[in-house]
């Protein structure tokens, strides 16, 4: 079982940080908090340590890791051919939840970047993370500290549940602030492209460097075929609970009617149902989790992964979630995470209501895959 050190978020114990840094330098694995989610850290320049991250997580080898650094100057040690856009975004948003995809330095091993000619780099906005990177004296490669495909960990207890007996040390600083991963933007092409939405919005980025594209994967659409993912979260089902997750999208009033009808149908067939709600809207289901007001998407982001894990803890078979249509700010990240967590099981609310009226058995077969 991993050794767990409880540390203060603002002023972490230097002895705990020193011990964790030693583990990193020796090729071990340390779970640590960032402002987004808990990361599973290894020496980014040690191929053996990085390969252990992939093994422990069960992560596909073509899914690159994000390199975490502790200062703006460290960017030049892992990247090259930086242009004005990279420097402007780094100076504007670092430390913070923005990851830059840039041309990699020859210093970075293939294992860390899945053999790509690019590297994804960020500087986290969390004292524990920054102190750890500084004490280790090297960049730290860190995906989320969970089994691959499961909801990302926003508490140290989530890390313990998934990886507690497979890693070396956990720094526990309480809940993370944002609750969804960093925004990833590719700066290696003429027009920058958001590969994964997160804690920095498209609007904020465009205010800094001008117009950017949004890759289809940022809308929750998975890559297919031989296209190599240039960022985590592009190709594979991510953030998924054990229960089957169904996302219902459309106009909010229609969505709520469809979610309520689907929950009733499933429960009538003996299915244990959880509903992911918002605005305090009341549903009849075995378990209901409210993400809070739609006017406060930051709170919804903080609650999302925690709520999905709680649904699994409650033993539900199917989770029916209100989709998130608002794409401004962190709303795009919420839409992305829900769609990715469902593995593409996204239903139109209007279609669902029609089906519930005309062919409930057909809806049941569609939802349950039978």
- pLDDT digits over 70-122, tens only? 999 999 999 998 989 999 999 999 999 999 999 999 999 999 999 999 999 99
Give me the mean pLDDT over the 16-23 stretch. 98
Give me the mean pLDDT over the 260-276 stretch. 98
> Residue 226: what pLDDT?
47
Report yes or no: 44 and 141 within 8 Å, Cβ to Cβ: yes
**Long-range CB pairs of 10-14, under 8 A, 24+ apart, other chains included:** 10/127, 11/127, 12/127, 12/128, 12/131, 12/171, 12/173, 14/131
* CATH code at 3-219: 3.90.870.10
- pLDDT digits over 124-158, tens only? 999 999 999 999 999 999 999 999 999 999 999 99
Mean pLDDT of the chain, nearest integer = 94
Classify 255 in phi/psi space as left (phi over 0), alpha (psi -120 to 50) or beta: alpha
- pLDDT digits over 36-72, tens only? 999 999 999 999 999 999 999 999 999 999 999 999 9
Question: Is residue 223 very low, low, confident or very high in pLDDT (cuts 50, 70, 90)?
Answer: very low
Name the residue ranges covered by the structural domains of the chain: 3-219, 244-368
> Residue 219: what pLDDT?
85
**pTM for the predicted model, two decimal places:** 0.92
Strand arrangement, sheet containing 273-277: 287-290, 273-277, 318-322, 244-249, 346-348
CATH 3.40.50.11030 corresponds to the domain 244-368: yes
Q: CA-to-CA distance for 34 and 231, rounded, in angstroms? A: 18
Check pLDDT > 50 for residue 281: yes
Check pLDDT > 80 for residue 237: no
> Residue 104: what pLDDT?
96
């Amino acid at each position: 079982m991993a050794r767990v050190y409880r540390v203060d978020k603002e002023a972490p114990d230097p002895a705990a940080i020193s011990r964790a840094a030693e583990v990193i330098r020796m090729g071990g694995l340390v779970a640590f908090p960032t402002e987004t989610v808990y990361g599973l850290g290894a020496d980014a320049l040690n191929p053996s340590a990085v390969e252990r991250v992939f093994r422990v997580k069960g992560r596909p080898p073509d899914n690159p890791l994000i390199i975490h650094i502790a200062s703006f100057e460290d960017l030049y040690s892992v990247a090259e051919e930086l242009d004005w856009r990279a420097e402007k975004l780094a100076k504007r948003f670092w430390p913070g939840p923005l990851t830059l995809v840039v041309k990699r330095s020859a210093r970075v091993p293939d294992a860390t970047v899945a053999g790509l000619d690019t590297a994804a780099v960020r500087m986290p906005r969390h004292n524990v993370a920054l102190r750890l990177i500084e004490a280790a004296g090297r960049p730290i490669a860190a995906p989320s500290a969970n089994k691959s495909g499961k909801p990302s960990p926003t508490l140290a207890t989530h890390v313990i549940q998934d990886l507690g007996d497979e890693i070396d040390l956990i720094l526990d600083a309480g809940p993370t602030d944002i609750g969804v991963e960093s925004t990833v933007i590719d700066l290696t092409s003429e027009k920058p492209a958001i590969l994964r939405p997160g804690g920095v919005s498209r609007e904020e980025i465009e205010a800094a460097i001008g117009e950017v594209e949004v890759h289809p994967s940022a809308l929750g659409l998975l890559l297919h075929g031989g296209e190599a993912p240039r960022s985590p979260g592009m190709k594979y089902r991510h953030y998924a609970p054990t229960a089957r997750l169904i996302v219902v999208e459309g106009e909010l009033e229609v969505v709520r009617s469809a979610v309520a009808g689907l929950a009733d149908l499933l429960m009538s067939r003996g299915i244990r149902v959880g509903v992911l709600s918002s605005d305090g809207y009341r549903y009849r289901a075995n378990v209901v989790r409210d993400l809070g007001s739609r006017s406060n998407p930051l709170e919804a982001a903080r609650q999302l992964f925690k709520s999905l894990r709680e649904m699994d803890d409650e033993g539900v078979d199917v989770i029916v979630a209100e989709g998130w249509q608002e794409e401004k700010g962190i709303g795009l990240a919420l839409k992305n995470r829900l769609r990715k967590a469902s593995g593409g099981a996204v239903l139109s609310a209007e279609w669902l209501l029609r089906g519930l009226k005309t062919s409930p058995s057909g809806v049941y077969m569609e939802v349950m895959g039978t």
